[in-house]
Homo-oligomer: A and B are copies of this chain.
Amino acid sequence: MGNPGDRVSLGETWSREVHPDIDSERHSPSFSVERLTNILDGGIPNTELRRKVESLIQRDPVFNLKHLYFMTQDELYEDAVQKRFHLEKLAWSLGWSEDGPERIYADRVLAGYNNLNVHGIAMNAIRSLGSDEQIAKWGQLGKNFQIITTYAQTELGHGTYLQGLETEATYDATTQEFVIHSPTMTSIKWWPGDLGRTVTHAVVLAHLICLGARHGMHAFIVPIRSLEDHTPLPGITVGDIGPKMGLENIDNGFLRLNHVRVPRENMLSRFAEVLPDGTYQRFGTPQSNYLGMLVTRVQLLYKGFLPTLQKACTIAVRYSVIRHQSRLRPSDPEAKILEYQTQQQKLLPQLAVSYALHFMTISLLQFFHSSYSDILKRDFSLLPELHALSTGMKAMFSDFCAQGTEICRRACGGHGYSKLSGLPTLVTQAIASCTYEGENTVLYLQVARFLMKNYLQAQVSPGSIPQKPLPQSVMYLTTPRPARCPAQTAADFCCPEVYTTAWAYVSARLIRDAAQHTQTLMRSGVDQYDAWNQTSVIHLQAAKAHCYFISVRNFKEAVEKLDNEPEIQRVLQNLCDLYALNGILTNSGDFLHDGFLSGAQVDMARTAFLDLLPLIRKDAILLTDAFDFSDHCLNSALGCYDGHVYQRLFEWAQKSPANTQENPAYKKYIRPLMQSWKPKL
C-alpha cells in the first residue's frame, strides 16, 4: 500500500495513529494490496501518476473539500466554479492534455465538486457529430475556455424520447441561417448542467426543418450569453431550475429560445448537412445523432458509477470494523458489526458489484475504442451492439450503484444519514444517474428490442448458421445447453462454469419466453404495439437477466486472465462467485421456474453464498484499501484510513454554523412561549 501516510488528511493530529480495530484487519494480508491497486489502475506507472496528481490536488487549499458540508447552495456553486477554474489553470501550467490521464485522476479526487463537466459532454458531442472543420474551430475554443458550453437536449415536457422534443431549427435560405425556436412552454430546455448561471454556448438538439420538410433531430451550436458581459443574448431566456435532491453545486438550467438565429455552419454536420439553398443531405443513419450520448454513457461507467460505489463500500466497510454493537454471545464484548452475517450480506455483495463493474468497464471501453473509430468513419455495422451494450450496462450499473450506495449508507445506521459520513452525497449522486443520460427503464427496453430482434433472427435459421451472424454479445442465444444444472454440492456452485452457464440458460429462457409472449398475443389478434406494451414488464426482466449474464461472464473471464497473480486471483474469484450467486439467489424464482435448479440446489447455492461471506469478510478492509482513495477524496468522518470515526464526527460537528452562531429562534419564539406561562408557575 505504499506509505499509509499518503492517504490520510493533512492537518489532523491523530491521523498517523491507526485505530487498533482497523489496524488488526491489515495485519498479515493474504495478498498484496499494492499489487491489486496497480491492477485496478492498469499498471504501476498509472498508480504512480495518479498518486502524484492526487498529492498535488490535496496540497492545494483551493481544492479543500472539508467545509462543503456546511455551505449553502449558492456557496457550493461558487466554490465548484472556483475549483474548476483553478484546476484549468493548474492543468495549463503543467501541460496536462485535455483528455489525458492527469485530468481523469484529478476529477477522481474532486469528484462531483467541480463544475462545468457538461462542457466536456458538449465537446464530446461536437467531436462525435461535427465535421472536421467544426471540430477544429469549436474544439479549440472550448479547450481554451474561450467559450463555455452545455449540451441542451431535455425539455420541460420531454426527456429520453428524443423524437418528442419540440424545439425547432428552421432553415432560412435567404440569410443562410437557422432560426432556433421554443414554440411552447413544454419545449423550454430544462435540466442542462451549468446552463443556469455559467455557460456562453449550448449544443441545442432541435428538429431540423428545411424547405418545409422535417428531418428529425440535429445538433446546433447556439451562443446564449454575451462574451463581453455574460448577459443573455437577444431572444434568450435563461436561468436556474431551482433546488434539487443533490448535485447542489451545479446550476442546472432552463433555456427558452425565441427565434434565435445562428449561421448555417452552426449545425453539426458529420452525418448530415444543409446546403446553402436548403437541400438536406444525410451521410449517416438516423441514429448517428445519438452518438454523443453513447460516448457519455460509456464515460459515466468509469468516471461516475465506479468511484461512487467504491467510495461507499470503503466508508461502510471501514466503519463496520470500528462500530461495535450487541454481543455474539453473552460473555463476549460487543462485536464489530462486520462480524454479523446480516451486515456481511449487505456490504460484501456491494464490494463484489464494484469489482464486477470495474472489469465490465475495462471490456466495454476496449470494445468502444475498437468500434467507435469505424463509426466515425461512417461504418455503422457495430453501432447496434455498441448501443445495446452501453445502454444496458448504463442502466444496470446505475441501478446497482444507486441501490448499493444506499445499502452502504443504511448499513452505517444513523451516522450514514449524517452528511459528514460522505454517504448522502454519494447516494444522491448515484440515484440521479438512474435518470440522466437515458432513464433506465427506457434503456432496458431498448436492450429488450435488440434482444427480441436477434432472437427472432436466430429463429429464422434454427440449427444452421444465420444468414447474418449474430452480434458477439448474443451468440449465446444459439448455444445448446442442458435443461438441468449439474451441480450436486454447495461447492459446485463456486465453479464459474456452473454459474455462468446457469445465467446463460436463464437469460436465454427469459428472452425466448418474452418473445413468445409477445408473439402469442399478436397471434391472438392484438396489434404489435399493444402486444409489446402488454409484455414490456416481461421483456424488462429478460433484458436485466441478459445484462447480468454479460457481466458475470465478463467478470469470470477477467479473473481467469489473472493467473500470474494467484493470491489476487483467489480473492477476486471469491468476489466473482459472490456476485454470480447473489444474483441467482435474488432471482431464484427465474432459476426454479422450469426446474433448471431444484429447491435443493437453490439451498446449495445459498450455502455457497453464506460460506463465501466470512471468507471475503477477512479481506474486506484490504479489498477497499486497494481502491486507494485518500481521506481527502472520501471526505468522510466514518471512512478515514485510520478509523478514528467518533473523534472526527465530534470534531466535524463542532464546525456547524448552528454551534458557532446565536440561535435567533430563541428570543423570537422559544422564550416568549415558555414565559407566557410564567405567572402561573
Contact = CB atoms under 8 A, between A and B. Distances in A.
Contacts of A533: 328, 339-341
B674 A148 contact: yes
Contact of A677 (B144, B325, B664): B144
A336 interface: no
A44 interface: no
A7 to B, nearest CB: 24
Interface stretch (A31-39, A169-177, A584-592): A584-592
Interface stretch (A120-128, A242-250, A487-495, A560-568): A242-250
A158 to B, nearest CB: 7
B420 A650 contact: no
Given A431-B410, A599-B595, A653 B537 contact: no
Interface string A318-357: 0000011110111000100001111101100000000000
A599 B592 contact: yes
A213 interface: no
Given A413-B439, A664-B78, A69 B243 contact: yes
Number of this chain's copies in the complex: 2
A343 B78 CA distance: 38
A89 B82 CA distance: 47
A442 to B, nearest CB: 8
Nearest to A665: B81
Contacts of A196: 658-659
Interface in A136-172: 144-148, 154, 156-161, 164
A602 interface: yes
A308 interface: no
B77 A665 contact: yes
A653 B238 CA distance: 11
Contact of A242 (B251, B646, B656): B656
Given A72-B72, A245-B427, A670-B230, A164 B197 contact: no
Given A145-B674, A242-B656, A435 B419 contact: no
Interface in A577-601: 585, 587-595, 599
A669 B432 CA distance: 28
A77 B154 CA distance: 35
Most B CB contacts (10 A, CB to CB) among A77, A413, A534 go to: A413
Nearest to A147: B674
Interface in A383-440: 406, 410, 413-414, 416-420, 424, 427-428, 431-432, 434-436, 439
B673 A198 contact: no
A503 interface: no
A325 B417 contact: no
A468 interface: no
Interface string A665-680: 1101111111001101
A413 B537 contact: no
A417 B427 CA distance: 12
B419 A244 contact: yes
A299 to B, nearest CB: 19
Main secondary structure of the interface of A (DSSP, over half): helix
A223 to B, nearest CB: 13
Given A74-B657, A157-B646, A424-B244, A198 B670 contact: yes
A332 to B, nearest CB: 8
Contacts of A186: 646
B240 A656 contact: yes
A537 B341 contact: yes
Contact of A227 (B89, B245, B673, B674): B674
Contacts of A670: 81, 85, 148, 198, 230
Contacts of A680: 144
A658 B197 contact: yes
A157 B599 contact: no
A242 to B, nearest CB: 4
B594 A599 contact: yes
Contact of A188 (B70, B599, B650): B650
Nearest to A243: B419
Given A69-B242, A154-B414, A242-B70, A230 B671 contact: yes
Interface in A624-663: 646-647, 649-650, 652-659, 661, 663
A238 to B, nearest CB: 9
Contact of A658 (B157, B239, B658): B239
Interface string A74-98: 1001100110010011000000000
Contacts of A593: 588, 592, 599, 602
Contact of A534 (B341, B343, B434, B588): B341
A156 B650 contact: yes
Nearest to A143: B677
B410 A653 contact: no
19 contacts: A144-B677, A146-B681, A164-B334, A190-B649, A197-B666, A198-B663, A239-B658, A240-B656, A241-B649, A243-B656, A341-B534, A341-B537, A342-B537, A345-B537, A410-B434, A413-B435, A413-B439, A417-B431, A587-B589
